[in-house]
Amino acid sequence: MSETTRQLRFEIFRYNPEDADSEPHTDVFELEETPFMTLYIALNQIREKFDPGLQFDFACRSAICGSCAMMVNGRPALACRTLTSDLPDKICLYPLPVFKLIGDLSVDTGTWFRAMVERTEAWIHERLPFDPDATEERMSDDIAAAIYENDRCIECGCCVAACGAANIDSAFLAGAGLNRIARFQMDPRDQRTDADWFEVLASEQGVFACIGMMACEDVCPKELPLLDVYGYLRRKSLATALSSREK
C-alpha cells in the first residue's frame, strides 16, 4: 500500500426537508485513509466519530441492493463499490438528483422505480389461460442470456441521476426504465405485441426523449449495455411503425 496515509477531506451535503429549521449546506469532515477503504466504510466512520445524525442508505455493502448510490465528485456511484483510493483527497458527496430527498445523502428511489414499473407494466403479460399440465416452453440460450443481462439492473438510480433528460423531466423512463422495456419486449413469454410496446417506448417520456448524452452507460455500476438497449428499442420502434403502415 501507499507509504504515507492520506488525510481525506469530505464535503457532505446536509439538509433535512422534514425539519423546518434545516438549511441546505455542506459539512466538512476529515478522516485518515485506511487500506481498501470504501465510501461506505468512510461514511460509517464519520457517523460513529463525528455525527450520528448523518443520513445515508445502505444494506448489502456489495453492490447488489442498490441503496447507496450518491453523487461522488459530480458523478453518480455506489458508495460501497467506490474505493477512496480511486478518489482525490477532496471528496464531495451529494444526494442523487431527480429523486425525492429524504435527508442528507438519502433519497427515495422507490417511488420513482415503482411508477416506472407501473407505467411500463414490467411483468410478463400472459394472454392464454394458465394450464398447469402443459410443459414449459423452451427458450433459446441467446435470448435467455440477453434477458439475464438486462435483468442484472439493481435499481440504484445512477443512470437516472446522470441523465440530462431525466434531470429536466423526472418522468423520463431513462436507462433503467428503457432497459426494463427491452427486457420484457425480447421475452417470448410476454404476449404484448410490437404495437403495444411502441406506444410505451415511443411516448413523450420514452426512448425518443433521450438526448444521447450516453452518461447512463458510463456510470452504470453493473456495466449494463444501456446504449445497446437504446439502439435496439429505436430500431424496433422504427420497424413497428414501418410495418404498421403496410397493413
Partner 1 sequence: MTQTLVTSAKRQLAHEIISGGTGLVLALFMWGHVVLVGSILTGERGFNWMATFLEDYYIAQPTVVAIFTLFLVHAVFAARKIPAQLRERKRIADLAKGLKKSGREKVATRTAHSPFRPHLESMLWIWQVRTGMIMLVLGSFHLILLGMDVFTPLFGDIVGIESSTSMARVGAGLWLPYAILLLCVEFHASVGLYRLAIKWGADLWMSRKTMHRIEQVIFWLILVIGGLTLTVLAGWVEPPLAFLLDGAAP
Confirm or reject binding of residue 132 to partner 1 (CB under 8 A).
no
The residue (of 51 and 119) whose beta carbon lies closer to partner 1 is: 119
Tell me how far CA of residue 87 lies from CA of 7, 38, 45, 71, 120, in angstroms: 12, 10, 17, 13, 37
Confirm or reject binding of residue 55 to partner 1 (CB under 8 A).
no
The residue (of 51 and 63) whose beta carbon lies closer to partner 1 is: 63
Confirm or reject binding of residue 159 to partner 1 (CB under 8 A).
no
According to CB under 8 A, which residues from 92 to 111 bind partner 1? 97
Confirm or reject binding of residue 234 to partner 1 (CB under 8 A).
yes
Confirm or reject binding of residue 171 to partner 1 (CB under 8 A).
no
According to CB under 8 A, which residues from 183 to 212 bind partner 1? 193, 195, 198-199, 202-204, 206, 208-212
- Sole binder of partner 1 in the list 83, 124, 143, 144 (CB under 8 A): 83
- Sole binder of partner 1 in the list 145, 168, 188, 189 (CB under 8 A): 168
| Alpha-carbon gap, residue 70 to 58, rounded angstroms | 11
| Alpha-carbon gap, residue 62 to 45, rounded angstroms | 18
Q: Which of 121, 92, 122, 96 is nearest to 109 (CA)?
A: 96
State the minimum distance, in angstroms, from the CB of residue 104 to partner 1: 19
φ, ψ of residue 240 in degrees (nearest 5): -65, -45
Confirm or reject binding of residue 170 to partner 1 (CB under 8 A).
no
Q: Which of 170, 159, 152 is nearest to 230 (CA)?
A: 159
User: Which DSSP string do the residues of 74-137 spell out, in sequence order?
Assistant: TEEEEGGG-BGGGS-SEEEEE--SSSEEEETTEEEHHHHHHHHHHHHT-S----SPP-TTSPPP
**Cell 438549511 maps to which residue?**
23
Kindly state the number of chain residues that form the binding site for partner 1, as judged by CB under 8 A.
53
Q: Which residues bind partner 1 (CB under 8 A)?
A: 2, 71-75, 77-78, 81-83, 85-88, 97, 162, 164-165, 167-168, 193, 195, 198-199, 202-204, 206, 208-215, 218-219, 221, 227-228, 230-232, 234-235, 237-238, 240-241, 244, 247
